[in-house]
Chains A and B, each alone.
Chain A
Amino acid sequence: MDNELGGLETEMKRGFLQLLVLVLLEKDAYGYAMVRAFRDLGYEVEENTLYPLLRRLEKRGLVRGKWDVSEERPRKFYAVTDEGRSLRDELVGIWNHQDRILKQLINKEKEHVQEP
């Protein structure tokens, strides 16, 4: 059962993390800062998953990466592009729609259980 849950959670997280990244990157951020920001919200992200995802989003032109070498430790900062922003808005719309459907279904089920 734990394995089943873990597998499904991983599948759900895959799309969700893309959306979260596109939302978070409205302000420039680098990888480790993003991991901490997600953690502060109670969302654990595997670091080794975040960086490949950022690279894929960058390749697709949805985020833009830029190295900052002004400080002692160089960091790559990412920001959402116009294309990424427009896609993010559409994804948020889909997310809200799915969220509404799920809540309605759960409420209906609850009503069914209470009726008899």
Chain B
Amino acid sequence: MYKNLENYLEEISHYLSGRAEREEILAEIRSHILEKAELEGGIVTEASLEKVLAAYGMPRRVAEKYLDGRPVIAPAFQRYLFRYTGLFFAIHLAFIVLAVVFKKNFIVFPFLFMPRLGIIEAVMYLPTAFLSDFGIVALVLYFITRSGKEIKLPWPRFAPDLDEVKAPDGKTLAARIATLIGAGIMLALTGLAIDLFLRFQTIFFVSFNLKKFRPLLMPEPGRQVSLIVLAMLAAGTIGLFIKLLSLSRRLACWVDATADAIALVLIGLLLRQPYAGLFAVHVSPGLLPKLRFTLTFTLLFVALVVAIDLVANLVRLGRGRWIK
């Protein structure tokens, strides 16, 4: 028994788990290594075995050569992973909107159960919806690949490809200058907002006359909404500075995805704010529902844009890792 040889074989065995012929494979490798060590080193010792083991290769690489090495998703189907995910996510998104607007459960048995969702839950649910669609499409393509059948997957010629989403070029000088200007503006805005908040506990004013201070919102809701907007500004500023200081595209994608996720949560918090008793100034009763509709619609539109950007960033981050 040579400890290093047994450890080496044990490691190969680990990677070959589940294969019926594992013991025979290991016996053959053991026989080969012992014979080589004896013939080339004169005598079998742990030291002479060490050389032979090193020449034989890393255990994982050795084990992989016995495995079929078939891709999880066949190369011909890899493009469809993001095509179909994009398509299913669009349908999923439509059901989410229906569940929010009509305040009802939607069931497409056995594929989808969309419970009645509030606006904040719907916004928070979007990334999960994308990931679940991605997982289902990947699973179906995996089974199609495993079947080995000649299957031509349909896709209309005119349809756009989500997998053609390109990572932004963050390395060009122009892009870096734009980021620098953006970061500067955001820093100034954040600084101004923090200054106003520290002085008046709100950043929303009817008139910007410091001697005759008139807030737009009531003190408590005004404070809450101001804090949410401040958090949005701060997250945006930090994100821009991280991108400015880093040359990594991948990090830039992570920063964008994180900023999008934070923005979605904050938009959700804004949408939860009750309108009753929100304004510190007189708003006519007829105008309030219209104002509420406009603000909600605007915030939902922004949330949709942010969610699409978040999905695009997740695609960029995941694509390199999954399609290999």
Interface residues of A (CB under 8 A from B): 30-32, 46-49, 51-52, 55, 73-76
Contact = CB atoms under 8 A, between A and B. Distances in A.
Q: What are the 10 tightest A-B residue pairs by CB atom distance, in nearest-first order?
A: A52-B65, A48-B57, A48-B62, A52-B66, A32-B35, A32-B32, A31-B32, A76-B28, A48-B56, A75-B31
B38 to A, nearest CB: 9
B31 A49 contact: no
Contact of A55 (B25, B32, B39): B25
A46 B61 CA distance: 12
A48 B65 contact: yes
Nearest to A30: B31
B150 interface: no
Interface residues of B, number: 19
Interface of B: 21, 24-25, 27-29, 31-32, 34-36, 39, 55-57, 61-62, 65-66
B263 to A, nearest CB: 44
Contacts, number: 41
B66 A32 contact: no
Given A51-B29, A74-B27, A74-B31, A32 B36 contact: yes
A55 B66 contact: yes
Contact of B65 (A32, A49, A73): A49
A55 B21 contact: yes
A73 B28 contact: no
Nearest to A31: B32
Looking at B27, B56, B65, which has the most chain A CB atoms within 10 Å of its CB? B65
Contacts of B28: 31, 51, 76
Contacts of B25: 51, 55
A33 to B, nearest CB: 9
Nearest to A73: B31
A92 to B, nearest CB: 26
A47 B32 contact: yes
B28 to A, nearest CB: 5
Contacts of B32: 31-32, 47, 51
13 contacts: A31-B31, A32-B31, A32-B35, A47-B32, A47-B55, A48-B56, A48-B61, A51-B28, A51-B29, A52-B66, A73-B34, A76-B24, A76-B28
Contacts of B66: 52, 55
A31 B32 CA distance: 7
Contacts of A49: 65
B29 A73 contact: no
Contacts of A51: 25, 28-29, 32, 65
A30 B28 CA distance: 10
Contacts of A73: 31, 34-35
Contact of A47 (B21, B34, B56): B56
A108 B49 CA distance: 52
